[in-house]
Amino acid sequence: MYRVGRFKVALLGLALALGARTAAAGAAAVSDSPSYITVTVVVTEADTGKPVNQAHLTLVFQTPKKKDNALSRSKTLSYSAKTNAEGMCKFMLVPEGTVKLLVTEGRHQAFGKEFTVSKDESTLDVKLKPPQPLL
């Protein structure tokens, strides 16, 4: 019985040591992980400043590479949505860095531009121009 008790204590000590090591590795991984932010897009008409309702938005970005794996590759992801009556839309869980925004709406010219987003610069203002006249 005495041996079983010592075995349990040794096993418990091993489990605690492994748990501390795993927690330290997890903390390091969290500090190296990319920051994800919420990007707000506001679409208005260039000439009147009125919000554009139901504009189709596509936000394209690259997922960050994993720093601990030299063979990892980034992936291209895209989110699509439409603006609300105030001409606004929010995209969540976007990694900080460069994103490409494409905006289309039937009564305006298409818009496409690359932006750099961060916690300080996470609102993208888009002004849609009226359509070109047909010749």
Q: List, for residues 80-119, the tens digit of each pLDDT value.
A: 999 999 999 999 999 999 999 999 999 999 999 999 999 8
Pseudo-torsion of CA 102, 105, 106, 109, nearest 10°?
-60
Contact partners, residue 113, CB within 8 Å, separation at least 6: 100, 101, 126
Euclidean distance between CA atoms 11 and 122, whole angstroms: 49
Q: List, for residues 55-82, the tens digit of each pLDDT value.
A: 999 999 988 777 777 777 788 999 999 9
User: Are 9 and 46 found together in one domain?
Assistant: no
User: Are 124 and 58 found together in one domain?
Assistant: yes
Q: In total, how many domains does the chain have?
A: 2
Domain containing 15 equals: 1-32
User: Are 45 and 93 found together in one domain?
Assistant: yes
User: Are 19 and 64 found together in one domain?
Assistant: no
- Asked if residue 120 is part of any domain, the answer here is yes
